[in-house]
Structure 1
């Protein structure tokens, strides 16, 4: 068998690592959902043993770059990690190393301000319409719909919209890490007071209006006011 020759004289760990790298490369060269091959085909293509391929597949599958399906029509398929998959490790790293929400906010506030300015230059109709719908929904909130949970959800939706409108995937990644870290911080309780929720909504509506008007400087200013509001609350909590 070809794989018996290729694997001879190489440590098992090295074989698995190299095979995992090659599997990842195959996935990245394909489109999401593409069939990369059945197990027997990949054994021949990669020149490795079945145990090596299966160990390597577990590594690449944990990175969300392939999925392995059994049965008729099964095999190895190209997949892509979601933002949620990517952010778990850095959020956990920050928490294990003693980072506070203020530490994270010091970084993400700068990124958020840049995202707002870039979003103001976005010309994509679909994204602008989504932002307009978000703005109108905010302005219409009253009574029972006004809760801390709904306000946090609105903040997260806006952050994701601005990240997408910025056209910079790095902005989306780092803002998502910040929001994930914040959601997991149980000791901080935002938006418990109705006046705080109203203040947040007013600033969100004004920010949406500035972005829809294509004014990056006003968008920066309003985002800076929003982040200053968060700093004010974090300072009170500390």
Structure 2
């Protein structure tokens, strides 16, 4: 017997049915045209559209209009998942120092895991990243490269939880571009050298050195934050 929550509206029940259809399919699969689903669920067009908006908000379906339109299965990604989490933390007065305190051990674990699990294709991508390090001279380029580096290491680690935590950490970092973390040329030079040392350790597969290089990066960033804006609260 199917459990139905008390006082559940028809739109909510239809939304649950759309979620079930999406999860039973592969992302991108065609679930049906609007008229098909109206007949399947036996509901009105306004009810279906209200339900579809709920499920679209959670990135579990997409609705496309036009002659080739209809309902399609989707899946949320890490960026979708962190939006509500980061908004909640910002409203609680979280600052970048708080985030780094928690994410630091995750970054270290990611570096060690990446060194153990990297494939031949990963090594080539890492080498390409290293080759481009010295071309990233200004603050904006360096910030972008830090995000790319973290996402690359998180992906190679093979742990979706690590990917999520790292995305949260860098979503805060990108919102704080004015704290002057990379404002000094010497800091930018030091950051590029730390990137190089970390990636080379992952490339050769030395998990201990990769973890140590990540620890040193964290120590350096902590020092810079204390002298350049760590006390500032994250702006909403």
Counterpart contact for 1:66–1:79, Cα < 8 Å: yes
Q: 1:43 aligns with which of 38, 43, 50?
A: 38
What SS is found at the alignment partner of 2:31? strand
How far apart in 1 are the matches of 2:199 and 2:17?
Answer: 45
Question: What displacement does 1:186 show?
Answer: 5.0
1:236 corresponding residue in structure 2: 227
2:158 maps to: 167
Partner Cα separation in structure 2 for residue 34 and residue 80 of structure 1: 11
Where do 1:1-238 residues align within 5 Å?
11=7, 14-138=9-133, 140-141=134-135, 145-185=136-176, 187-237=178-228, 238=231
- Contact 1:91–1:177, Cα closer than 8 Å, also in 2: yes
TM-score, normalised to structure 2, is 0.89
Aligned positions, number: 224
Greater than 6 Å deviation, 4+ residue runs: none
C-alpha deviation, 1:40, in angstroms:
2.0
Q: Deviations over 1:113-164 (max 9, x none)?
A: 00000000124222221111101111x43xxx41111111111111010011
- The answer (yes or no) to whether the contact 1:112–1:175 under 8 Å persists in 2 is yes
Measure, in 1, the Cα distance between the counterparts of 2:193 and 2:46.
Answer: 59
Does 1 or 2 have the higher relative contact order (CA < 8 Å, sep 6+)? 2
Q: Which stretch shows the higher mean deviation, 26-35 or 42-51?
A: 42-51
How far is 1:187 from its partner?
Answer: 4.8
Where in structure 2 are there 5+ consecutive unaligned residues?
A: 1-5, 232-236
The CA RMSD measured in Å over matched residues stands at 1.6
Deviation at 1:83, TM superposition (A): 2.8
Matched residues in 2 for 1:16 and 1:104: separation? Answer: 38
The more displaced of 39-48 and 124-133 is 39-48
Please list the CA deviations of residues 207-232 of structure 1 after superposition, one character each: whole Å capped at 9, or x if unmatched: 11111111111111000000111111
SS of the counterpart of 1:67? strand
Q: Which residue of 2 aligns with 1:5?
A: none
Of residues 23-32 and 203-212 in structure 1, the stretch that sits farther from structure 2 once superposed is 23-32
C-alpha displacement of 1:28: 1.7
